[in-house]
Amino acid sequence: MSTPFPFTAVVGQDDLRLALLLNAVSPAVGGVLVRGEKGTAKSTAVRALSALMPQVDVVAGCRFSCDPGSPDPACPDGPHEAGAFESRPARMVELPVGASEDRLVGALDIERALAEGVKAFEPGLLADAHRGILYVDEVNLLHDHLVDLLLDAAAMGASYVEREGVSVRHAARFLLVGTMNPEEGELRPQLLDRFGLTVEVAASREPEQRVEVVRRRLAHDDDPAGFAARWADEEAAVRARIAAARELLPSVRLGDGALRQIAATCAAFEVDGMRADIVMARTATALAAWAGRTEVLAEDVRQAALLALPHRRRRNPFDAPGLDEDKLDETLEQFGEPEDDDPDPDGPGGGGGGGGQPPAPDSDAPQGGDPGARTEDGEGGEPQPSGAGSGEQSAVRASEPFRTKVLSVPGLGEGAAGRRSRARTEHGRTTGARRPRGTLTKLHLAATVQAAAPHQRARGRTGPGLVVRRDDLRQATREGREGNLVLFVVDASGSMAARQRMSAVKGAVLSLLLDAYQRRDKVGLVTFRGSSAEVALPPTSSVDAAAARLESLPTGGRTPLAAGLLRAHEVLRVERLRDPARRALVVVVTDGRATGGPEPVELAGRAARLFAAEQVASVVVDCESGPVRLGLAGRLAGALGGTAVTLDELRADSIAGLVKEVQGNRRAA
């Protein structure tokens, strides 16, 4: 077994280490989500934590780690009698991103259950992680059906495995720790809220600290055991401090003043629900215990807010996480003194206890002014005309996003689970049955009975009951939804550069990006202007990155439509090699003009027909405006084998064009 890197040898990353230690002191805090760029010791610190966790007592021989003091009465290995128990280190179980459902929750042998009436159950990772740590690296890439299972287990403290009326239940309470790189996509809000704390990490920009990181890493790689021995005293000291804090925790007092500060802070930052208040209270209590105190102070509440609120106050996937610390300090100060709270604070405005504090209006100004500060360059000069000619344009702010109509790929796919197009999936509506290929996972009971019924006399069955053999078993086939690759091909030429039009175009693309985020798609961005096209963003799961590139998109120059389509075609070719099961939806945002390069119209038509020949689903968002319209976008859509929608028709609540879905000239199988 390899020697892990010592927790106390991690350089810097103070917030990360503190968040992990607080969960070691009080698992009720609810786990940690670690967000940051690659190579920032996220996984190293999490794996090192397990060595500091106190040992646990378990019933001897129990595969589900039952506590001998209060064993689970419904444990599949029970009932447990008082007697033998053993102590072992708390486990850290890693959940691979590509794990199957059976690997996570356990596997029930359906064949033996039906044929022999035996409830044979093999525990999964949730059982292994009970009373320990469940670690998910790249948690944002976890499949939706696994996320749903994690949510259920985290909410109920138990895991249920059900197969056609045969069920197994076992306890599953664990410390959930996840790491992720935001560039690869965001996390579903339901799972995001399940993490008690969140920490943003980044590599140090201090040369001396970076030197020390490299020095320690090389020393560990050269002699892991020797390096760990040099840090043994520090590790033992932290382990003892965790044990002492755990003992002190029940004695820590959370006063009414601290509770009022917690409630006021959550209200001030407009977090959803009450989980944030509860997590902040538990975190502040753990902070006091870690500091060796029996009373929660304002500094504990402040630190708890910085760890528990940033990921809960996000309103949409394009908002940057974080907390306004000036506003936090002002809220804590306003509600910090109980003796000042009694006389005045219930008066109108709630500011009577502040003694005429000037910071309140000032702190509001930056919040309302932040977006305004960004718009000084883009929108402050509103009278400036945009000359839609060949000149270079500064970036234009996107208009307000809206809810878009559903654009889907026709036919039935088999790609990654998502919420856009129809697909054969492991979860969803049952549509039929087939013979199992490999292990049977989803039994189609009616089809199995139908297959077995004609053979009962030959098998000697004359009375009630049914003899079922392996050849009779039928696997249920299901239909659900898949995520697609939505490739945006955006015209940034001079004909699109009118400020009002480009703002509307960016708003439409931003709306489609938001829709892609909600439907678990990958996205890519190709832009064309002047004399060429470029891949502004290769296909990725991060719609945040796409939104950022879109925000800074410059405009101007001619319209090399053919170059944009050919570049998009090449992006799709490469992506098909990487992920052949994921189907693509190409969204071309243009007015349809083609003016760049020799014979621009003919070349654009030939490039478009490449997509039609390969039956690539496509839609053209027609950005043409004005009283006289040439209908060029509609012609382009015909050449692509797709359909065209105007910006107005793209809105889900528009009256024009009641339902617009992507359809090819040929109906996919």
394 occurs within a structural domain = no
- Could you write out the DSSP letters of every residue in 566-622? HHHHHHHHHHHHH-TTS-EEEEEEE-----SSSSHHHHHHHHHHHHHHTT-EEEEEE
> Quick check: 111 pLDDT over 80?
no
* 386 vs 608, higher pLDDT: 608
Segment 476-488, tens digit of pLDDT: 888 888 889 999 9
For residues 13-29, average pLDDT: 91
Which is catalytic among the residues 260, 275, 397, 424? Answer: 275
Do 284 and 189 sit in the same domain of this protein? no
Do 328 and 299 sit in the same domain of this protein? yes
> Quick check: 575 pLDDT over 60?
yes
> Quick check: 206 pLDDT over 90?
no
Q: How many domains does the chain have?
A: 4
Segment 316-359, tens digit of pLDDT: 556 666 778 888 888 888 887 654 444 444 444 434 333 333 33
Rounded percentage of the chain residues whose pLDDT exceeds 90: 27
For residues 422-448, average pLDDT: 81
355 occurs within a structural domain = no
Q: Is 660 in contact with 649 (CB distance < 8 Å)? A: yes
Q: How many Å apart are CA 394 and CA 401, to the nearest integer?
A: 21
Do 452 and 499 sit in the same domain of this protein? no
Which CATH number covers residue 301? 1.10.8.80
Do 142 and 175 sit in the same domain of this protein? yes
| Listed residues 313, 343, 373: the one ending a domain | 343
Do 103 and 185 sit in the same domain of this protein? yes
> Quick check: 47 pLDDT over 50?
yes
> Quick check: 587 pLDDT over 90?
yes
655 occurs within a structural domain = no
A 10 A CB-CB count for 170 gives 26
Do 315 and 454 sit in the same domain of this protein? no
| Listed residues 343, 371, 395: the one ending a domain | 343
Confidence (pTM)? 0.69
79 occurs within a structural domain = no
Do 94 and 144 sit in the same domain of this protein? yes
Segment 60-88, tens digit of pLDDT: 888 888 988 888 888 888 788 777 888 88
Do 97 and 38 sit in the same domain of this protein? yes
Can you give the pLDDT at residue 106? Answer: 85
Confidence label for 287 from pLDDT (cuts 50, 70 and 90):
very high
Kindly report the average pLDDT of the chain as a whole number.
81
615 occurs within a structural domain = yes
Can you give the pLDDT at residue 373? Answer: 35
Can you give the pLDDT at residue 572? Answer: 95
Can you give the pLDDT at residue 528? Answer: 93
Can you give the pLDDT at residue 303? Answer: 94
Can you give the pLDDT at residue 227? Answer: 92
Do 495 and 615 sit in the same domain of this protein? yes
Segment 362-394, tens digit of pLDDT: 333 333 333 333 333 333 333 333 333 344 445
Do 138 and 286 sit in the same domain of this protein? no
Which CATH number covers residue 612? 3.40.50.410
Do 183 and 310 sit in the same domain of this protein? no
In terms of residues, how long is the chain? 669
Segment 137-195, tens digit of pLDDT: 888 888 777 887 887 888 788 888 876 556 788 889 888 888 888 777 777 777 788 88
Give the domain range for residue 307: 249-343
Tokens representing residue 449 in the block: 């009975």
Do 469 and 494 sit in the same domain of this protein? no
| Listed residues 203, 228, 258: the one ending a domain | 203
> Which of 305, 289, 302, 259 lies closest to 21 in space, CA to CA?
289
CA separation (Å) from 579 to 415, 519, 573, 628, 664? 9, 18, 10, 43, 22
173 flagged as catalytic = no
Which CATH number covers residue 15? 3.40.50.300
Q: How many Å apart are CA 83 and CA 81, to the nearest integer?
A: 6
